[in-house]
């Protein structure tokens, strides 16, 4: 009887792609994919630990899975993703009911890891420097509705934002090759996807590590030619790297959604410098003006952090006024989360 595998994916779309890759690899190895955790031989929980709320959600889900295991409804539990990558030793000490931990690497070894778990072994496979990068040959089982899919064009991040631990969790920025992204997108469209969402920690830096130049516009010029691709959506852009040729291709190609996800985080120059965002109020205002002027009916989504260490009332009001003036179509506002191992952790409040 084939071993039944289930997965519960937490966190962002980038983590969802990791879950889809894990399922694809396991199915290709002959494992049966189950719909829910209940009744699984091995339940995989793919976690997030970006901010406190995400950590709490991950721990709550793990505890729920342990309860199912204690009731004999799950045989083995494998915890994967950012939480074990960040807290391996603490989790092993405090969650002894968990049978295995892997981080954000090593997905190609999953069939052997699952086999070992079902044979009663306990497994921990967490590499200190993440380096995994899937390609167009990597099997995936989509967890999205059939009409859309995410394509991760890069992994990791080389920015040093003071509030963020992603570079430590996910490793340095590393791009997939243009032909690999193109082939995967062609395959997804051939299987029924009509909307392709491009994701990464910073999509606008795509290609810099491989080609020594930003190559996102070059990639888009090839993607828009794929037959039956109706929408291409750009997510996780960085204001410091939004080039004129990228603006022009978004404007000129009807297939590219007139929607940009552009996390700005703050507008005050002192706070931006403390955040180590590599940008400024002047640059942000100039970019927004250019985007609105060049691309008619553009929808911009952004995110902001409030309560950053040392933020004054005047700086907060400056941010609020900027948001009112900018009239973003979509806005996410987040209370600063003090993350250990981030540079801002030791900033005076």
Together in a domain, 206 and 334: yes
| Strand 123-125 versus strand 100-102 pairing type | parallel
Q: Which residues contact 280 (CB under 8 A, 6 or more apart)?
A: 269, 272
Same domain, yes or no: 172 and 120 = no
The tokens of 314 are what?
Answer: 């005047």
Separation between Cα atoms, residue 337 and residue 344, nearest integer Å: 10
β pairing state of 100-102 and 76-81: parallel
- Cα dihedral sign, 280-285-290-295: positive
The C-alpha atoms of residue 70 and residue 49 are separated, in whole angstroms, by 25
Number of domains in the chain: 2
Pairing of strands 148-152, 4-9: unpaired
Answer yes or no: is 152 within a domain.
yes
Whole-structure pTM value = 0.95
Lowest mean pLDDT among 130-134, 149-153, 272-276: 130-134
pLDDT for res 261:
97
Residue 140 lies inside a defined structural domain of this protein: no
Kind of pairing, strands 195-199 and 299-306?
A: unpaired
Q: Which two tokens stand for residue 47?
A: 């976690």
The confidence score (pLDDT) of residue 131 equals: 85
On whether both 219 and 291 belong to a single domain, the answer is yes
Q: What values do phi and psi take at 199, rounded to 5?
A: -135, 160
For residue 184, what are the domain limits?
Answer: 148-346
- The DSSP H or E segment spanning 182 is helix 178-190
> For the purposes of burial, counting CB atoms within 10 Å of the CB of 185, is it exposed (0-12), middle (13-18) or buried (19 or more)?
buried
Is residue 187 domain-shared with residue 260, that is, in the same domain? yes
Considering only residues 250 and 36, tell me which one the structure prediction assigns the higher pLDDT: 250
Contacts with 49 (C-beta within 8 Å, 6 or more apart), sequence order: 55, 58, 81, 82, 83, 85, 86, 87, 169
In the prediction, which pLDDT does 165 show? 94
Give residue for tokens 């009409």.
147
| Cα atoms found within 13 Å of the Cα of residue 22, Cβ hemisphere only | 31
Q: Are residues 191 and 225 in the same domain?
A: yes
Q: Is 78 helix (H, G, I), strand (E, B) or coil?
A: strand
Length of the chain equals 349
Domain containing residue 92: CATH number: 3.40.50.12160
Confidence tier at 192 by pLDDT (50, 70, 90): very high
For residues 191-218, average pLDDT: 97
Per-residue CA distances from 252 to 184, 185, 215, 244, 296 (Å): 24, 21, 17, 12, 11
Q: What average pLDDT does range 300-319 have in this prediction?
A: 98
Same domain, 228 and 261: yes
Where is pLDDT greater, at 273 or 131?
A: 273
DSSP string for residues in 284-316: HHHHHHHHHHHSTT-EEEEEEEES-TT--HHHH
Domain membership flag for residue 135: no
Whether 79 is covered by a domain: the verdict is: yes
The reply to whether 161 and 267 lie within a common domain is yes
Element (H, E) at 321: helix 313-326
Each residue's pLDDT tens digit, 240-290? 999 999 999 999 999 999 999 999 999 999 999 999 999 999 999 999 999
* End residue of a domain, out of 110, 125, 140: 125
DSSP H/E element including 256? strand 256-261
* Helix-then-strand count for the chain, H and E: 12, 14
- pLDDT (tens digit, 9 = 90+) per residue, 89-108? 899 889 999 999 999 988 98
Looking at the fold, whether 75 and 190 belong to one and the same domain comes out as: no
pLDDT tens-digit map of 53-72? 999 999 999 999 999 999 99
Q: What is the pLDDT of residue 337?
A: 95
Give the pLDDT confidence score for residue 21 in this predicted structure. 97
Q: Tell me whether residue 340 is in a domain.
A: yes
pLDDT of residue 128: 84
**Domain contains 231:** yes
Lowest average pLDDT, out of 123-132, 232-241, 331-340, goes to: 123-132
Give the per-residue pLDDT at 106. Answer: 81
Token pair for residue 332?
């996410």
Query: pLDDT tier at 175 (50, 70, 90 boundaries)?
Result: very high
The last residue of a domain, from among 125, 159, 186: 125
- Residue 184 and residue 191: Cα distance in Å, rounded? 11
Q: Which of 173, 168, 347 is nearest to 273 (CA)?
A: 347
Phi, psi of 301 (to 5 degrees): -105, 140
**Angstrom distance (rounded) from CA 320 to CA 308:** 14
Sign of the torsion formed by the C-alpha atoms of 326, 330, 335 and 341: negative
Pair 111, 157 in one domain: no
Q: Span 109-116, mean pLDDT?
A: 95
Residue 131 falls inside a structural domain:
no
Mean pLDDT of 34-59: 93
**CATH number of the domain to which 181 belongs:** 3.80.30.20
Do 111 and 194 lie in one domain? The reply is no
pLDDT surpasses 90 at 40? yes
At residue 349 the predicted structure's pLDDT band, cuts being 50, 70 and 90, is confident
320 in the same domain as 186 = yes
Whether residue 211 is found in the same domain as residue 328: yes
pLDDT at 1 over 80: no
Residue 132 in any domain: the answer is no
């Amino acid at each position: 009887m084939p071993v039944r595998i289930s997965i519960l994916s937490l966190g962002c779309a980038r983590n969802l792609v990791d879950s889809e890759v894990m399922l694809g690899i396991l199915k290709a190895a002959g494992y049966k994919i189950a719909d829910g955790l209940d009744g699984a031989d091995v339940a995989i929980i793919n976690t997030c630990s970006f901010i406190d709320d995400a950590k709490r959600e991950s721990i709550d889900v793990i505890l729920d899975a342990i309860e199912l295991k204690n009731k004999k409804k799950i045989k083995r539990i494998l915890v994967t993703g950012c939480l074990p990558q960040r807290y391996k030793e603490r989790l092993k000490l405090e969650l002894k009911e968990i049978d295995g931990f892997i981080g954000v690497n090593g997905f190609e070894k999953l069939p052997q890891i699952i086999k070992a778990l079902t044979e009663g072994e306990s497994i921990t496979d967490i590499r200190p420097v993440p380096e995994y990068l899937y390609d167009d040959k990597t099997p995936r089982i989509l967890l999205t509705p059939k009409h859309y899919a995410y394509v991760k064009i890069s992994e990791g991040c080389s920015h040093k934002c003071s509030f963020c631990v992603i570079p430590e969790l996910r490793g340095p920025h590393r791009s997939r090759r243009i032909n690999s992204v193109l082939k995967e997108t062609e395959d997804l469209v051939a299987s029924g996807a009509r909307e392709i969402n491009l994701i990464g920690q910073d999509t606008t830096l795509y290609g810099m590590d491989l080609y020594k130049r930003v190559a996102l516009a070059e990639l888009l010029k090839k993607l828009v030619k794929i037959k039956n691709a109706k929408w291409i959506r750009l997510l996780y852009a960085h204001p410091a790297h939004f080039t004129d040729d990228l603006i022009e291709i978004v404007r000129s190609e009807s297939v590219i959604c007139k929607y940009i996800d552009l996390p700005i985080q703050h507008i005050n120059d002192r706070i931006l410098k403390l955040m180590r965002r590599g940008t400024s109020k002047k640059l942000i205002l100039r970019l927004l003006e250019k985007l609105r002027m060049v691309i008619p009916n553009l929808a911009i989504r952004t995110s902001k952090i409030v309560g950053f260490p040392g933020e004054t009332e005047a700086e907060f009001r400056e941010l609020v006024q900027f948001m009112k003036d900018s009239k973003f179509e979509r806005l996410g506002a987040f209370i600063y989360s003090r993350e250990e191992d981030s540079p801002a952790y030791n900033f005076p409040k």
